[in-house]
A = this chain, B = another copy of it.
Amino acid sequence: MKSTTKPWIFTASCPSVIGTVDVVTRFMAESGNYVDEIHSFDDREANRFFIRIEFFPQSADFSADEFRAEFGPKAKQFEMEWALTEPNHRPRVAIMVSKYDHCLNDLLYRYRTGQLNIEVPVIISNHPDLEPLAEWHGIPYYHLPITADTKPQQEAQVIELIEKYDAELVILARYMQVLSPEMCNYLDGRAINIHHSLLPGFKGARPYHQAWEKGVKMVGATAHYVNNDLDEGPIIAQGIQTVDHAHYPEDLVAKGQDIERVTLFNAVKYHVEKRVFLNGKRTVVFGR
C-alpha cells in the first residue's frame, strides 16, 4: 500500500440519512480500492452530509468509466452530488488581474514549481501592466480595457476567452472590478476572489483605509467563491496579520499583500484538491 503516487479523489454530498457512508465505503471495498484517507462531516443545521476520500485502486485495470457506471445508480438513491477526480487532474484556470501583481506573481510561482497542480492557459486584465510577467511564463495575456460604458462588451469578451481556453476555474487575483450580475451568475461557484479584509468586516472599496480609520490591530484577507452578492460569497479561507499604530494606510496595503497572496493560494489549493464543498452560504473545507 506504501506509495508516493497521488491518490484518486472521491467527493460527494447529499441529504443526511443513514447509510450514506456505507454506500460509499462498501463500494470502495467491493471494487478493490484502497481507502487512504477519509474525511466526512454531517451538518446538523443543514441536514447535509459531506465526504472526501483519497484512494488507490488495487487492480491494474481500474477504469474510471466503470466506477462511474457502477456507482451512479447507488448515488442516485441518495440524491448524491458526487465526483471522481483522477490523480493527474490539472484543472485549467483563467487568472484575471488588474495592476497589482503580488497575487499573480505568487500563483505563477507556485504553478511553475508544481506547488499548484493547475494549468494556466490564459491571463486576462483590464490593464497592460502585467503582460511581461505573463510572457515570461509563456502564458497568453489579453488586455481588455473596461469603462462603465463598455462593461457589457468587455465582460462578453472575457466569457469568450474563458470558453475558448476551456477554463473550469477563474481566479480573480485582485481584479479590482465590480462584476455585473450576469457575470456573477456566469461565474457562480467556479470563480474564487480575494478580498483584502477579514469579511464581512470592511466590505467594498479601500478596506485598508477603512481599517486604518478604525485603528484596528489586525488586518486580514478573505478568499471566497464569487456569487451575486458583492463580497458575500461563501468563504473558503481567511488570514490575518497584526499591525500597530505606526502603520499608515499605505503600510497596511503593503503588509496586507503577504496575507492576501497566501490566503488566495490556500483557497485555490483547497479547491483544486477537492477539499471545498458549497453548503448554502457557507463552505465545508476538509483542510490539512
Residues on A facing B (Cβ under 8 Å): 1-4, 16-22, 25-26, 28-30, 32, 34-45, 47, 51, 58, 101-102, 105, 109, 113, 115, 136, 198-202, 213-218, 220, 234-238, 240, 244-248, 250, 254, 257-258, 262, 279, 281-285, 287-288
Contact = CB atoms under 8 A, between A and B. Distances in A.
B199 A287 contact: no
Secondary structure of the A contact surface, majority rule: mixed
Contacts of A28: 21-22
A21 B35 contact: yes
16 contacts: A2-B45, A18-B29, A18-B34, A21-B25, A21-B38, A35-B40, A35-B42, A37-B246, A38-B51, A39-B39, A199-B216, A215-B234, A217-B237, A218-B238, A245-B284, A258-B262
Contacts of A34: 18
A41 B37 contact: yes
Nearest to A257: B115
Given A113-B101, A284-B245, A42 B32 contact: no
Given A38-B21, A41-B246, A215 B32 contact: no
